[in-house]
Amino acid sequence: MIYVLNGPNIGRLGTREPEIYGHTTYADLVDLCLATGKRLEVEVEVRQTDAEFEMLKWLHEAADAGAHVVLNPAAWTHYNIAIRDACAMLRGNLIEVHISNIHRREEFRHKSVISAVATGVIMGLGVDGYRLALEHLAQLGDQAQPPVNSDGHR
């Protein structure tokens, strides 16, 4: 099982700042992820929330299951320590995905509190980053990610 988890405002894809995020709708993104999972013969669960408590619940569920996660934390990327700490509990691999390149955006978006606990980061490739993340995780199979060390990094 691979969880594809999306944070705040991702449900507005297609209408939210199309000059940055493109015209792909959230429904299109879900279809892309499910079709990729089917092609790779892996079960994919796609979810989106604007509620922090719900995202935390899903990350805990993934941690308990030992599942891999593709996470677009959206605005939570830059400040949400609770989401970061939940990501650090994951036993499966975590790929942080961003549709835009956060380093080409406003300065306050340049820092990710998630990246240090992620297995890898894909950004700036549009929704195709999700496909690439799923392909990578499918290739890893059940291989666990390295544990978080004493300074909070993998």
150 belongs to an annotated ligand binding site: no
Tell the residue number behind the tokens 């195709």, with chain if given.
128
Picking from 45, 91, 93, 53, the residue whose alpha carbon sits closest to that of residue 69 is: 93
- Whether the CB-CB separation of 4 and 140 falls below 8 Å is answered with no
Structure tokens given for 55:
């995202």
Q: In this structure, what are the phi and psi dihedrals at residue 17, rounded to the nearest 5 degrees?
A: 40, 65
Category of 66 on φ-ψ map: left (φ > 0), alpha (ψ -120 to 50) or beta: left
Catalytic, out of 3, 21, 26, 130:
21
Question: Would residue 98 show up in a list of annotated catalytic residues for this protein?
Answer: yes
Question: Would residue 153 show up in a list of annotated catalytic residues for this protein?
Answer: no
100 belongs to an annotated ligand binding site: yes
85 belongs to an annotated ligand binding site: yes
Tell the residue number behind the tokens 């959230």, with chain if given.
26
Catalytic, out of 3, 26, 68, 98:
98
12 belongs to an annotated ligand binding site: no
Count of positions (residues) in the chain:
154
Distance (Å, rounded) from C-alpha 24 to C-alpha 54? 24
| Binding residue positions for substrate | 72, 78, 85, 99-100, 109
Q: Which residues are known to be catalytic?
A: 21, 98
